[in-house]
Amino acid sequence: MALPRQTLGKRGEDMAVQDLIRRNYSIVARNWHCKFGELDIVAQQNTNMVFIEVKTRAGDNPGNPFENITPTKCKRLIASVHLYLAQHHLDNIQWRIDAIGIAIPRNGQPVIEHVEDALDW
């Protein structure tokens, strides 16, 4: 039986946060909403702000979670990041957008893939 989409998304985001903390990122915010959409995770790594889009898939053959990051989604992410930076007065900070893909097979361990500066693929 498949998990409801929202439950699967939250599970993936929780796994991503645990992985980020393990790798010494500081979590600043989760699920930050604005008129352009949502930033799944806002984190800090050293002096960089990192805005992270999390995509999770589950099932017998979960496939590539990154397939759901469309050009439209990228534009909305960038607009959301710019609004976040403006609202938090972070004009001169270094930042990037990362993506974390999580594939959860029905039998086996989840696979977490973190792509830094994901929009420069």
Q: To the nearest whole percent, how much of the chain has pLDDT over 70?
A: 91
Q: What is the pTM of this model?
A: 0.89
- Going by the DSSP 8-state scheme, the letter that residue 50 receives in this structure is E
Decide if pLDDT at 121 tops 70.
no
Quick one: pLDDT at residue 64?
73
Quick one: pLDDT at residue 107?
83
Quick one: pLDDT at residue 9?
86
- Sheet of 26-34: strands edge to edge? 26-34, 37-45, 48-59, 94-105, 111-115
Decide if pLDDT at 77 tops 60.
yes
Decide if pLDDT at 63 tops 90.
no
Which one is predicted more confidently, 70 or 86?
86
Quick one: pLDDT at residue 34?
97
Query: What is the CATH topology of the domain spanning 5-120?
Result: Trna Endonuclease; Chain: A, domain 1 (3.40.1350)
The DSSP H or E segment spanning 20 is helix 5-22
